[in-house]
């Protein structure tokens, strides 16, 4: 029984997460540290005892959003000086000195490998008001023995490896998250089993480079195979792989196991050989296109999505048209599209031939326009066909309709009948608008 007096004394925390899914996972890890130390989650940050922002440095607009948020928090802190404000994640790692100088009201700065320090920080905070900074990157920290505190839902994210050794010249991740290290297959399988027991039915394996996963007991294909065998797992996804490391073994495992989704997020970044080389992506346009042919040979209906950067330093109009050309040839189902953003400290930020903002904006708009056409083209091919759909939530537009996903990751909206959330049902596609499909139960 929880006594009322105890309840009043319980301290509360609020975590706001920016950036990639890895940060969502890390925030869940941080939550588990906080809860073990007796803190309770609150949705009202005005009254929280601890506010953590788990931050992202991938592009400058991600950083700017966090700077603005911190300025708001400065006001709260003035009203309640006991409140603890912490910056976690990539910006903590990357901008520690700047943060300490310009935002003295930030009490705690912790890089992605320092979250084990949280209980100790909370403990010492009860005694003094010291600042705490730890941004040491570790070659070993994988939080192997910890399971994150997850909210309930359909999909659980499970981190399988941390860090990145690829050093694409535009990317800050190898600097903020350090070297690649993998968890053991055994502990990942155990975590997936625990997720299924908790009621999740879809798992997405996460890593900066999932297919760089390497352990003495096996590499990424072996892991995928082992996880797909977990009882009760309806769907298995992973993100993001590096195109260089997608091989026959992996495609075979995907083909063999029905619950592994027919979807590969395959970051292209750019279509020109010269730009790819300057980006250190280690594949050519032809190699990428050949890989897509190979994927379709194993998995004919596999949906392929991608990441695109426009306006990388030195990118000419003709080189940009190579990106459009690859997109048209592959007919990507969807793309995450970004204007190149120089990240201080990366190789590409030092290139002297940066592309003008207007040119980047114009290329971004042209790529977005093409992607809309490609998505529509792919979606139209689905009209009249029946697909297995995982019922995930009520449609935003109507309480009489469900929204669910195809295994290719597209959303479909359909009228409710007798199904419930987490059911896998057959839906015939009737129409498509924007990126959404509309269908009916069959």
Interface positions with ligand SF4 (CB under 6 A):
164, 166-168, 171, 173-174, 208-209, 242
Nearer residue to ligand 5AD within complex by CB, 213 or 340: 340
Which of residues 334 and 379 has its CB atom nearest to ligand 5AD in the complex? 334
Residues 66-105 that bind ligand 5AD (CB under 6 A): none
| Closer residue to ligand 5AD (CB): 171 or 324 | 171
Residue 392 contact, options ligand 5AD, ligand SF4, none, Cβ 5-8 Å cut-off depending on partner type? none
From the CA atom positions of the chain, what is the Rg in Å? Answer: 23
| Member of 176, 341, 371, 378 binding ligand 5AD (CB under 6 A) | 341
Q: Which of 408, 406, 407 is nearest to 429 (CA)?
A: 406
With contacts defined by CB under 6 A, name the span among 123-131, 256-264, 289-297, 340-348 that binds ligand 5AD. Answer: 340-348
Q: In 93-102, which positions are buried (b, 16+ CB within 10 angstroms) versus exposed (e)? A: bbbbeebeee
Separation of alpha carbons 241 and 205, rounded Å: 10
CB of 7 to ligand SF4, least distance (A): 43
Residue 56 β-bridge partners: none
Check binding of 278 to ligand 5AD (CB under 6 A): no
Q: What is the smallest separation between the CB atom of 210 and ligand SF4, expressed in angstroms?
A: 10
Which CB, 91 or 425, lies closer to ligand SF4?
91
* Shortest distance, position 58 Cβ to ligand SF4, whole Å: 8
Tell me the residue nearest to ligand 5AD as measured from the CB.
307
Question: Which of residues 77 and 242 has its CB atom nearest to ligand SF4 in the complex?
Answer: 242
CB of 70 to ligand 5AD, least distance (A): 22
Question: How far, in Å, CA of 363 to CA of 323, rounded?
Answer: 10
- Which residue lies nearer to ligand 5AD by CB, 71 or 165? 165
167 binds, among ligand 5AD, ligand SF4, none (CB under 5 to 8 A by kind): ligand SF4
Instruction: Please state, in angstroms and rounded to a whole number, the distance separating the CA atoms of residues 204 and 40.
Output: 27
338 binds ligand 5AD (CB under 6 A): yes
Binding partner of 343, given ligand SF4, ligand 5AD, none, CB within 5-8 angstroms per partner class: ligand 5AD
Neighbours of 360 (CB within 10 A): 21
Of the two residues 221 and 267, which places its CB atom closer to ligand 5AD in the complex? 267
Q: Nearest-CA neighbor of 286 among 272, 300, 299, 269?
A: 272
Cα 368 to Cα 325, 326, 373, 436: the distances in Å are 14, 14, 9, 16
Residues in the site for ligand 5AD, rule: CB under 6 A?
A: 58-59, 170-171, 267, 269, 307, 309, 338, 340-341, 343
């Amino acid at each position: 029984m929880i006594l009322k007096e105890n309840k009043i004394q319980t301290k509360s925390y609020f975590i706001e997460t920016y950036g990639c899914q890895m940060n969502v996972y890390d925030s869940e890890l941080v939550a588990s540290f906080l809860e073990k130390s007796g803190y309770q989650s609150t949705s009202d940050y005005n009254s929280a005892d601890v506010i953590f922002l788990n931050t992202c440095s991938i592009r400058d607009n991600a950083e700017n959003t966090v700077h603005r948020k911190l300025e708001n928090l400065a006001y709260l802190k003035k009203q309640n000086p006991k409140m603890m404000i912490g910056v976690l994640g990539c910006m903590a790692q990357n901008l520690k000195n700047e943060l300490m100088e310009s935002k003295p009201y930030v009490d705690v700065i912790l890089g992605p490998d320092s979250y084990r320090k949280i209980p100790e920080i909370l403990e010492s905070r009860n005694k003094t008001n010291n600042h705490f900074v730890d941004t040491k990157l570790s070659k070993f920290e994988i939080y192997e023995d910890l399971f994150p505190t997850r909210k309930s839902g359909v999909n659980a994210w499970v981190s399988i490896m941390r860090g990145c050794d690829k050093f694409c010249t535009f990317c800050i991740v190898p600097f903020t998250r350090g070297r690649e290290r993998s968890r053991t297959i055994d502990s990942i399988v155990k975590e997936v089993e625990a997720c299924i027991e908790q009621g999740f039915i879809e798992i997405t394996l996460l890593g900066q480079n999932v297919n760089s996963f390497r352990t003495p007991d096996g590499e990424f294909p072996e892991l995928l195979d082992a996880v797909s065998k977990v009882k009760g797992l309806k769907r298995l996804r992973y993100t993001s792989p590096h195109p260089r490391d997608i091989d026959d073994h992996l495609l075979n495992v995907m083909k063999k196991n029905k619950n592994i989704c027919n979807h590969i997020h395959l970051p292209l970044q750019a279509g020109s050989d010269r730009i790819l080389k300057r980006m250190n992506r280690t594949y050519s346009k032809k190699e990428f296109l050949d890989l897509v042919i190979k994927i379709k040979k194993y998995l004919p209906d596999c949906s392929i999505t991608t990441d695109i950067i426009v306006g990388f330093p030195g990118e000419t109009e003709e080189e940009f048209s190579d990106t459009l050309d690859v997109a048209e040839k592959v007919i990507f189902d969807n793309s995450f599209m970004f204007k190149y953003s120089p990240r201080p400290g990366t190789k590409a930020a030092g290139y002297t031939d940066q592309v003008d903002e207007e040119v980047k904006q114009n290329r971004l708009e042209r790529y977005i326009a093409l992607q809309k056409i490609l998505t529509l083209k792919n979606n139209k091919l689905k009209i009249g066909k029946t697909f297995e759909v995982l019922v995930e939530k009520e449609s935003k537009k109507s309480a009489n309709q469900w929204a669910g996903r195809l295994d290719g990751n597209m959303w479909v909206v359909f009228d409710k009948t007798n199904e419930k959330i987490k059911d896998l049902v057959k839906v015939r596609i009737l129409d498509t608008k924007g990126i959404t499909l509309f269908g009916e139960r069959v």
